[in-house]
Amino acid sequence: MDNILNELFEKEKTLSIYNERIWGIPLWSCIKRKYRSKYLFIHAKVPPMSNHPKFYLWPLVRSFIVSFWHILKLFICSEKKPNLFLGFMRLEQMNGLYMDKFIEPIILLSEVKDKYVYFERGRSGIHISPRSIKNIVWTEFIDNFCTLMSCGLFPFFVLFNWKTYGNLIDKINYLFPISLKERFYIYYITTRFLLKALFLCLVLKRLGVKRLFIPAAVIHYQYIAACKLLKIPCYEIQHGITAGQTYTYSGEYVPEAYPDYFLTFGKSSLKDSLFGLPLGRMINIGCAFKSFLKERNVVKLKNTYLLLSEPEITQKMVHTIVELAKMYPEYTFHLRLHPLEVLNQCQGTMLSEFANIALVDNIINSTIVCMDYEGVIAENTTVLYEAVSVGVKAARLQYNGLQTIHFEDEPRDLFFYMKRAEDFSSFANEFDISDANVDLFYSTFDVKTFNTLLVR
C-alpha cells in the first residue's frame, strides 16, 4: 500500500492541489479524507472504514435544542475561556464515569483548571453521562445550522468562486473520474465547511480562545481553519500510533492544512512527517491516561487470554481463536471486537460451540480490559502497545494469513511473536516483559511540558 500512497502524494504535489483556496483555506483539506480513501479503494482495494452512527430522530432534535442553549450562553456570558478542547466522539467507561481518554485526563492533570471549554458532538445526538469533567458544550446546533444554510448557499459560493472550483474539479479528475453527483457533493460539503469555519470564528472570538487542542485533525479541520484565520495556535493530540504512512496524515506538508503542533504520547512517534508535520513541530507530552490506570486494583483472570480483533481480519481471528481453544482446552480465550466490527451469524455460531471461548464487551476502555488478563494476543492493533505500556504481556500473530508491521525502533523484546498455534505455550509459560522498554510508545504524562503550552 505504501507504493500507492507515495504515488497519490506525488500526484497531489505535482497538481498543486492545495492551491485552490477560498479565504486562504485549501479546499482539498475539506474533502481529502474521503477522496484519498476512494483512491486507495480503486488502486489497492482497501475498503473505506465507515463509522457513521445510526439515525435517531429524538436524540438529534433534543441535542439540537440543548446545543442552541449552550451556544447562546457562550455569547451571553462574558467569561473568557482561553483553552478550547475538542472531544473525541467515542467515550469509554472508567470507575462509573465516562471519559474521553485522550483529552479529559490532560484537563484533569494539568494546570488548565477552569479556564477551558470542552466542545462535544454526540454520536447521533447521544451524549453519555456522568462525566469526569465540566464545561462541556454540545455543538450540534453549529453543525446542523451550517448544514441547513449550506443547502441554500452553495450555488452562490460556486458562482462567486467558479474558477477555483473548476480548477479543483479538474485536479481531482486527474486522480480519478468523478461524476456530476460527486461534483455537487464537493460544492455542498466545502460550502458547509467554510460556513462552519466562519461561524466558529465568531464563537472563538467571543470566548477569547488563545489555543485549540484537538484529537483528530482530519475530522475537526473546520476548527483548524477558523484558528488559521484568527491566528490562534492549534495543537493536535495523538489519538493512536502508526508504524508508517497513512492516507489520514501523510503527504505534502502545507501549513494552512495542518495544525501548528502535534503532541505525541511517546518518543517513538517523534519522527519527521510521521503525522504530517515536520519534527520541529512535534512535542512529546506522554500519555495522561496512564496516570489514572495506576490507581486501579487489578485482579487477573487466571489462565485467561484476550484476543483483539479488527474489521479487516475478523475471519482470520475467528479461525485463530478456535484453533487455540481446541489445542489448549485448559485455557480460556476471550475475543474483543473493534467498536466498528460485527460478527456474522456463521462466525458467532462457530465461537458458541466452545465452552472456553467468550465474546466480551467492547465498551469499557481497552487498556483497562487488557489489565484483567494474563496476556493479550493480536496482529497490529495499537491496543497491543497500550497493553505493554501498563505491564501486560502481548503476543503478535504471524500465521493464518496474519502479518505484523513493525516500527523501525521497536524493541525486539517488547512482544512475543506467534508463528504457529503451538507457540502459545511458550508465550503463556515463559515469556516476560519485565525488562522491556514499555514507556517507548506511551510515556508517563509530562505535566510540566504541557503546562508550558498554556502560557505560550
277-309: pLDDT as tens digits: 999 999 999 999 887 776 666 788 999 999 999
**Cα distance between residue 48 and residue 41, in whole Å:** 7
The rounded distance, in Å, linking the Cα atoms of 279 and 274 is: 9
- Mean pLDDT across the chain, nearest whole number? 90
pLDDT at 72 over 70: yes
In the prediction, which pLDDT does 243 show? Answer: 67
pLDDT, residue 123, reads 78
Average pLDDT score over residue span 399-411: 81
Answer whether residue 217 shows pLDDT above 90.
Answer: no
Residue 431: what pLDDT?
94
pLDDT > 70? residue 39: yes
Q: Dihedral sign for Cα 379, 380, 382, 388, please.
A: positive
d(CA 432, CA 271): 29
Grouping H, G, I as helix, E, B as strand and the rest as coil, residue 220 is coil
Residue 34 in 3-state DSSP? helix
Would you state the pLDDT for residue 53? 60
Percentage of residues in the chain having pLDDT higher than 90 = 62
Res. 333: pLDDT tops 60: yes
- Looking at residue 54, the DSSP 8-state letter turns out to be P
Quick one: cell of 260?
Answer: 501548528
Question: DSSP letter at 241?
Answer: -
CB 263, CB 110: distance < 8 Å: no
pLDDT of residue 219: 85
Q: Enter the C-alpha cell of residue 73.
A: 450562553
CA distance 52 to 369: 25
DSSP single-letter state for residue 239? -
Q: Which residue has the higher pLDDT, 366 or 174?
A: 174
Q: Residue 149: pLDDT above 70?
A: yes
How would residue 380 be classed by pLDDT, with cut points 50, 70 and 90?
confident
- The pLDDT of residue 295 is 63
Residue matched to cell numbers 456474522? 344
Which letter does DSSP use for residue 128 in this model?
Answer: -
pLDDT, residue 50, reads 57
| b/e code 289-326 from CB counts within 10 Å (16+ = b) | bbebbeeeeeeeeeebbbbbbbeebbbbbbebbbebbe
CA distance 420 to 426: 11
